[in-house]
Amino acid sequence: MEPLFEIEGLRVAAEGHEILKGVDLAVNAGEVHALMGPNGSGKSTLANTLLGHPDYNVTGGAVRFHGEDITEWSTESRGKAGLFLAFQYPEEIPGVSVVQFLRQALSARKGTDLSILELRVAIMEWMARLGIDPSFGDRYLNEGFSGGEKKRNEILQMALLEPEFAILDETDSGLDIDALKVVAKGVQEVRTDRTDLGVLLITHYQRILQYLEPDIVHILFDGRIVESGGPDLAHRLEREGYDAWR
């Protein structure tokens, strides 16, 4: 079976320094993979490269989606095709409400203009499922949002945009335990609706994996994946730290 999403021999440089040194990873439809690594291991570089960030130069290897090489695709093309990236630090967009933003994003993704009414019905349904206050839709995007609200908003976007593959970059960063549970529950809620959704969860901490159990855990160290395994690998990491791989 062809993987839904595949990274093969990926080498990436930024500002003249090679950061990723041959990363291989394949995610099948419906699977959750966790990519873990210490600071400086290359996690953010990988996330930015998968987004198509122009500051990151792919010097070797390929990124494939449904078997098609998307290494050179723009960020916009990736989003339209069904890739979703949740950022570690989402930007504030003053003057643009959550509903307006979602309408524009959905129109681009689906190639058709949705009416505000259709969109509001869909948003209200998902807000109820994700435990989000209905007034949230009229607030300006990420402006004055708490860390937990920003993350919930990203899960709401993921639910409505119906991607086929989601990259969650440090989604658990800076969250208290209640917010963490909400985010994990939100991801599971979306997966319940979309059983073929593939997820790559890039994280520094093991704790989110208590609520969102991955099928496979990868350890990224010094620009390479040094070990892959089941959820037990995350427990081992919790016990031993990254020293075992140094």
Q: How many residues does the chain have?
A: 246
Average pLDDT in the chain: 87
134-152 pLDDT, tens per residue? 888 888 777 777 777 777 8
195, 179 Cβ separation under 8 angstroms: no
Nearest to 2 by CA among 24, 29, 32, 33: 29
Query: What is the percentage of the chain residues whose pLDDT exceeds 90?
Result: 41
* pLDDT over threshold 90, residue 127: no
Query: Does the pLDDT of residue 89 top 60, yes or no?
Result: no
Please report the pLDDT score of residue 24 as a whole number: 97
The answer to whether the CB of 28 falls within 8 A of the CB of 67 is no
Segment 174-192 shows an average pLDDT of: 81
For residue 173, what pLDDT is reported? Answer: 66
Q: Give the whole-angstrom CA distance, residue 205 versus residue 190.
A: 22
Distance, CA of 189 to CA of 214 (rounded, Å): 15
The Cα-based distances of 108 to 78, 85, 92 in angstroms read: 11, 15, 20
- pLDDT for res 137: 82
Predicted local distance difference test score (pLDDT) of residue 92: 64
H helix or E strand, kind and range, residue 23: strand 17-27
- List the domains of the chain with CATH numbers: 5-245 (3.40.50.300)
Q: Tens digits of per-residue pLDDT, 94-105?
A: 788 888 888 888
pLDDT confidence tier of residue 174, bands split at 50, 70 and 90:
low
Per-residue burial over 37-75, b = 16 or more CB atoms within 10 Å of its CB, e = otherwise: bbeebbbbbbbbbbbbeeebebeebebbbeeeebeebee
DSSP-H helix ranges across the chain: 43-51, 75-81, 98-110, 116-130, 147-161, 177-193, 232-240
Residues 36-66 have pLDDT tens digits of 998 889 998 999 999 899 999 999 999 999 9
